Structure 1
Amino acid sequence: MLVRPARPDDAAAAIAAVYAPYVTDGVISFELDPPDAVEMARRMAAGETRHPWLVAEEAGAVVGYAYASAFRARAAYDRAVETTVYVAADAHGRGVGRALYDALLARLTEAGFTQAVAVIALPNDASVRLHERLGFVPIGVNPAVGYKFGRWIDVGVWQRALAVADA
């Protein structure tokens, strides 16, 4: 498996394909319509170089991706990021999520970010296990903040220190 920076010209369509089932088939994503390749490329570009997007490839095919985004828009949150990882359905259980997250967290630490925050629609035992194995700790639960497919969904927040918060 190769983990590398995502490139809009070769990864946006594949990233969109990995993500679409999370939108259409479940409540892990709160989007209602899956974004197409053009929209995914726009999202990747919006992160610029500050917030990396990574893909995992096996035999030349994208089998997962991870990215960071601004935690909040205000300047005081500038050294914290929200992290996300998605793995293709046929690649679950093979260490793809872990490999992506290891690479993402290393890049974020090197870039000087101090906190990584993950937001997980609940229940999602696999995602909770992955995050906790990576050192994320549960911070709290926002009950019934999402509504999809006719039901209310709780959202959990996990956080991991990346570096010592200094001045």
Structure 2
Amino acid sequence: MYEIRRLAYEDLPALAKMYSYYAQHTVTTYCNHEVSPQYMNGLLRGPGHHCFVAVAEDGSIAGYVHLTPVFSILGKKYEVAIYLMPQHTGKGLGRQMVRYGESFAKKAGARHLAVSVCTENTPSLSLFDALGYRRTRIKVAAGEKFGRFLDTQLFEKSLV
């Protein structure tokens, strides 16, 4: 069981550790270096941003969902990003976190959500497919990591 709550400043060291793991070992993010809590503060706590953390029963941070405001002539829109500590994947937490973000966005008046996922990130692609996100296009060579170019699958979901 997980508690989901708004990001607190004290959570930033744990999120920096999590993000650094993904940056250095996976294609989940195109960032390729260790990051600091200050970096995460700038990434997650900007104007109009909303970030929520999942707290495990032992009090540790299990993951986060981040909503970044995106300009849209069709009304309020957010881009969704989700990261989970590796030991908390495959347990339904990702689905729970995305649904939480969707619910918050809808209450905040958002009409649409967008997601960008590396085409090699099969678990995330499957998650957003299962949650009814529509694949809209692929950005070819959107990033470079581990000596190769990586493509990005874009998704959209209407909340109305």
**Scaled by the length of structure 1, what TM-score is found?**
0.88
Q: Deviations over 1:95-115 (max 9, x none)?
A: 111111111110000001111
Alignment of 1:90-105 (within 5 A): 90-105=87-102
Question: How far apart, in 1, do the equivalents of 2:49 and 2:159 lie?
Answer: 15
* Residue equivalent to 2:65: 66
Please say if residues 27 and 121 of structure 2, whose CA atoms lie closer than 8 Å, have aligned partners that are also in contact: no
Offset at 1:44? Answer: 2.8
Segments ≥4 residues shifted beyond 6 Å: none
Partner of 1:30: 30
TM score, norm. by length of structure 2: 0.92
Per the TM alignment, residue 77 of structure 1 is displaced from its structure 2 partner at its CA by: 6.6
Question: Aligned pairs, how many?
Answer: 158
Unpaired runs of at least 5, structure 2: none
Partner of residue 107, structure 1 = 104
Aligned to 1:53: 51
Return the alpha-carbon distance in structure 1 between the equivalents of residues 18 and 74 of structure 2. 30
Whether the aligned pair in 2 keeps the contact of 1:71 and 1:77 (CA below 8 Å) is no
* Deviation of the 1:144 alpha carbon: 1.8
Alignment partner of 1:41 is 2:41? yes
CA-to-partner distance for each residue in 1:66-108, whole Å, 9 max, x for gaps?
1011224xx7376111100001011111111111111111000
Structure 2 residue identity aligned to 1:151:
R
2:91 is matched by which residue type in structure 1? R
Moved more, 127-136 or 152-161: 127-136
| Identity within the alignment, % | 22
Counterpart of 1:132 in 2: which secondary structure? helix
The alignment status of 1:76 with 2:73, answered yes or no, reads yes
The separation in 2 between residues aligned to 1:45 and 1:15, in whole angstroms, is 12
Maintained 8 Å contact 2:45/2:51: no
Alignment root-mean-square deviation, CA: 1.5
Report the CA distance between 1:28 and its aligned residue: 1.6
* Structure 1 residue runs without a partner (length 5+): none
